[in-house]
Amino acid sequence: MGRLKTIGRRAFLVGSTAVVGGVAFGFYLYKKPVENPLLADLGSDEAALTPYVKIDAEGVTLITPRADKGQGAYSVQAAMIAEELDVELDRIRVDPGVPSPAYWNRALADEAVPFAATDQGAMATAARGTVGAVMKIMGMQVTGGSSTVADGFEKLRIAGAVARETLKAAAAQKTGVAVASLRSQGGAVILPDGTEIPYQELAADASRIEPVTEVVLRQPEQWRLIGKPMLRVDTVAKSTGTLDYGIDAKLDGMVHAAVVLNPRQGGVLSGYDASAAKDMRGVKKIVPVTGGVGVIADNTWRAFQAAAAVECDWGPAVFAPEMADHWAELEQAFDTDPDSRGRDEGDVENTLGQTPLTSEYRAPYLAHAPLEPINAVVLIKDGRVDVWTGTQVPRFTQNNVAAIAGVEPEQVHIHAQMMGGSFGHRLEDEVARRCTELAMEMKGVPVKLTFSREQDFSHDYLRPAAIARMRGAVEGGTVKALDLAVSAPSVLTSQMAERQGMPMPGPDSSISQALWDQPYGIENYRVTAHRAQNMAPVSSWRSVGASQNAFFHEGFLSELITAAGGDQLEQRIALCTDDVSRRVLETVGEMSDWGRELGPDRGRGVAFCMSFGTPVAEVVELTNTPDGIRIDNVFVATDVGRVIDPVNFENLVQGGVVFGLGHAMNCEITISDGGIEQTNFHEYEGMRLYQCPQITVKALEHNSRIRGIGEPPVPPAAPALASAIFDATGVRLREMPFNKFVDFL
């Protein structure tokens, strides 16, 4: 027991350094150390020096609790620990660990408070601390909000340094050599005579001494890994087909399941007839699940076939049945009391005058559609539940599965799986819930549930459809007034309150995300958000509210700048109030040689958006060919303070641009009879390779805080494209997807 207590305190090292401020909700609880989850299964010769580093006879394992859905999270988390721990990335193992409050996400709190990312004032800082404390108490282990690097940058390096210094102290004690004379390199402590003692040989000793709490983090010029190109830990496996995703999980005796759910999303199952399906080959069981029917078979395809043969009687639609009704709901919401007024500066009403410029913009629903359909394996045996699934919310899933299985959350063991994309879909856990319902019918047998692509599409939780109504005035060649009103359903209410049971009182900042918090100094500037009701269930979609709001804000700003007779880039630079953002805008101008002659039938556009604290400016250049518009080039400048891995960084930025452009050009989800109409990629393509432009990326490092890059490149893509299309063709696009109005090559 003595040993457990000692190591228990070590967990505090990590927790305490991450804690800043300390307000509200009980100082004691807030400061109370969280239990180190690695201690539970530890062998006698193993040491868990922090919740992030585990050393056993096999070697060093780095715990990377933020989920990897393709963004390279495991690699960047491992790199941040390895930088200080002095281990090589190709010599360590990476493990996502188990769900634990020790892995709460503080950086996510930054997005949940009503202060702009550029606001470092006392009120904003205190508010972030308060929300952070709440998240810690709730054990919010969430991957989202582009927060993995922001949250881990100090925490994980400190974890590495604490482990390293404790190992060195153990080596000093063992050898009698002074700590100051010891070095560490390549997973070993090195004595002055060059003798190497591998960390594993020091693990048991290290666990018996007091940990070294005083650590000094290395300076950037001393870094071996951070900022230099690195080979992601998953690249080789992903290039040889040997990486197992959740859908590839193989367990002894496993059976395969499919579901057919009410196409009127959220509707009930009124009755069903499985007489044709039950005798089909390989079918083991057909049972009702929430909102539909599940088929358990010996093979996924047989389960799909049988599910299609079940005749179901579906309950009615639970929200407005037709798309026209949804647009009407959005329109009506403008007449309701605002959900928030994030910005109200100057005297908007009087400066707008009698004849303001007005515009209405629209954004459709969108699906996440990660290429790996959602899936889970659940095994219920002897009061214990094991879940293998790709998830961004392991703690929620643990609780939800426990409630269905009728066990305590501690009895639910989540085995986090690598994900074939997410874009926000794996912030939801409906597949784990449905699979648990099926596993309850097959206790002792592992049940794998794979959603067919059609079920995945038709039961996705969508990016909100939204409408913006905007007014503005220009004077003396510049923007004098900007009045933005937006109407959208609430992601927080739908996702957190309705599906996760976490009450979300107060305004939903995601409705006006990237509208109210942009670093523009417009004298008369107002942002009003309205909450639409009776819409389809909605969710966080890569870049959340910014994905549609940047199109609204930047699209209309472009119209105003055109009306003022100004240059799109120069005016944005002139209006910008944040030094870091201004440099990003200036840089994208230099990269694209803004203003040079483009030639006939060509056009360019620029857009800017700060989301999740990361400013991104993008320039799109295109050609209007006789066969349609061809996007030639995209230039991207951004600033995350510090780039961990420049290769992965460039890849993520390029991918974000493709994601933003592809959906703006080609994608919408529409509703009919209370259900989603699009069922597969033939009517929801995103972008394919032939439409992909050349994408040039430049990262600046002036941001005072380190920020994420998974989402921020998405929002500026649509408005930059719309602006370039206007430049080349004179057609002003105010609604996505653009292919309803113009042809693309």
Looking up tokens 């784990």 gives 432
Q: Which of 19, 268, 497, 692 binds another protein (CB under 8 A)?
A: 692
Using an 8 Å Cβ cutoff, are 136 and 25 in contact? no
Site string for another protein, 336-375 (x = CB under 8 A): ---------------------------------xxxxx--
CB 527 → another protein: shortest distance, Å? 30
Judged by beta carbon, residue 210 or residue 298, the one nearer another protein is: 298
Tell me the two tokens of residue 332: 């009506």
Name the residue among 35, 40, 43 with its Cα closest to residue 11: 35
The residue among 233 and 357 lying less far from another protein, judged by its C-beta, is: 233
- Please report which residue ranges of 468-564 form alpha helices under DSSP H: 491, 499-500, 546-564
Q: Which stretch binds another protein (CB under 8 A): 66-74, 173-181, 324-332, 335-343?
A: 66-74
Residue 661: how many CA atoms within 13 Å on its side-chain side?
34
Cβ distance to another protein smaller for residue 182 or 658 = 658
Closer residue to another protein (CB): 418 or 522: 418
Question: Does the footprint of another protein cover residue 90 (CB under 8 A)?
Answer: no
The CA distance from 164 to 52, in Å, is 12
Give the residue from 517, 579, 578, 582 showing the smallest Cα distance to 550.
517
Give exposure, 719-738, as e/b (b: 16+ Cβ within 10 Å): bbbbbbbbbbeeeebbbbbb
* 69 contributes a contact to another protein by CB under 8 A: yes
Q: DSSP code of 218?
A: P
One-letter identity of residue 107? A
Chain residues 249-268 in contact with another protein, contact rule CB under 8 A: 250, 256
**Interacting residue with another protein among 286, 640, 687, 728 (CB under 8 A):** 687
> What is the three-state SS of 105-163?
CCHHHHHHCCCCCCCCCHHHHHHHHHHHHHHHHHCCCCCCCCCHHHHHHHHHHHHHHHH
Side-chain-side CA neighbours of 614 within 13 Å: the count stands at: 33
For another protein, the closer of residues 398 and 691 by Cβ is 691
Residues 611-650 binding another protein (CB under 8 A) are 647-648
Instruction: Using the minimum distance from each CB to another protein, give the nearer residue, 4 or 231.
Output: 231
Q: Which is nearer to another protein, 72 or 446 (CB)?
A: 72
> Of 163, 188, 247, 676, which lies in the binding site for another protein, with binding defined by CB under 8 A?
247
Cα separation, 516 vs 528, in Å, equals 8
672: helix, strand or coil: strand
Question: What are the phi and psi torsion angles at 462 (to 5°)?
Answer: -95, 160
Residue 445 beta carbon to another protein: minimum distance, rounded to whole angstroms: 15
Q: Least distance from C-beta 288 to another protein, angstroms?
A: 24
Q: Does 685 bind another protein (CB under 8 A)?
A: yes
The position carrying tokens 């303001």 is 356
Stretch that binds another protein, among 63-71, 500-508, 546-554, 699-707 (CB under 8 A): 63-71
The contact mask relative to another protein for 705-734 (x = CB under 8 A, - = no) is ------------------------------
For position 240 contacting another protein by CB under 8 A, the verdict is yes
CB of 372 to another protein, least distance (A): 5
- Residue 652 interacts with another protein (CB under 8 A): yes or no: yes
**Which range in 201-209, 248-256, 561-569, 592-600 contacts another protein by CB under 8 A?**
248-256
91 binds another protein (CB under 8 A): no
C-alpha–C-alpha distance, residues 237 and 94, integer Å: 13
Binding of residue 688 to another protein (CB under 8 A): yes
Helix axes 546-564, 646-666, angle to 10 degrees: 80
Cβ atoms of residues 589 and 720 within 8 Å = no
User: Looking only at residues 476 through 505 of this chain, which bind another protein when binding is defined by CB under 8 A?
Assistant: none
Site string for another protein, 180-219 (x = CB under 8 A): ----------------------------------------
Size of interface with another protein, in residues (CB under 8 A): 67
Which of 654, 718, 733, 738 is the binder for another protein (CB under 8 A)? 654
Between residues 49 and 652, which has the closer beta carbon with respect to another protein? 652
CA distance linking residue 693 with residue 661, whole number of Å = 10
Least distance (Å) from another protein to the CB of residue 306? 12
Q: How far apart are CA 236 and CA 345, in angstroms?
A: 53
- Exposure pattern of 475-503 as b/e (b: 16+ CB <10 Å)? eeebbbbbbbbbbbbbbbbbbbebbbeee
Q: Which of 25, 301, 521, 590 binds another protein (CB under 8 A)?
A: 301
| Smallest distance, another protein to C-beta of residue 276, A | 16
Question: Minimal distance in Å, beta carbon 420 to another protein?
Answer: 3
Binding segment (CB under 8 A) for another protein, from list 188-196, 395-403, 501-509, 674-682? 674-682
Bridge partners, 704 (sequence order): none
Q: Is the peptide bond before 737 cis (omega within 30 degrees of 0)?
A: yes
- List the structure tokens of 135: 């998240």
Torsional sign, CA 646, 650, 655, 661: positive
Counted residue by residue, the chain has a size of: 745
Number of CB atoms found within 10 A of residue 338's CB: 19
- Which CB atom, from 71 or from 166, has the smaller least distance to another protein? 71
Residue from 238, 285, 362, 642 binding another protein (CB under 8 A) = 238
CA–CA dist 715, 582 (Å, integer): 17
Candidates 124-132, 530-538, 653-661, 725-733; binding stretch for another protein (CB under 8 A): 653-661
x/- mask, another protein, residues 371-390, rule CB under 8 A, reads xxx-----------------
* Tokens at 458, concatenated: 């038709």
Give whichever of 306 and 486 is closer to another protein, judged by the CB atom: 306
Cα gap 90→92, rounded to integer Å? 6
Given 21, 119, 126, 245, the residue binding another protein (CB under 8 A)? 245
Contact 35, 103 (CB under 8 A): no
Q: Which residues in 303-322 contact another protein (CB under 8 A)?
A: 304
CB nearer to another protein: give 385 or 736: 736
Stretch that binds another protein, among 50-58, 67-75, 479-487, 727-735 (CB under 8 A): 67-75
Query: For another protein, which residue of 36, 61, 64, 71 counts as binding (CB under 8 A)?
Result: 71
Kindly state whether residue 276 participates in binding another protein, applying the rule CB under 8 A. no
For residue 220, the tally of other CB atoms under 10 A from its CB is 10
Q: Which is nearer to another protein, 546 or 561 (CB)?
A: 546
Q: Tell whether residue 292 is a contact of another protein (CB under 8 A).
A: no
Query: Are the C-beta atoms of 551 and 736 separated by less than 8 Å?
Result: yes
Binding residues for another protein, per CB under 8 A?
69-72, 231-232, 234-245, 247-248, 250, 256, 281, 298-302, 304, 369-373, 419-423, 450, 452-453, 647-648, 651-652, 654-659, 662, 679-683, 685-690, 692, 694-695
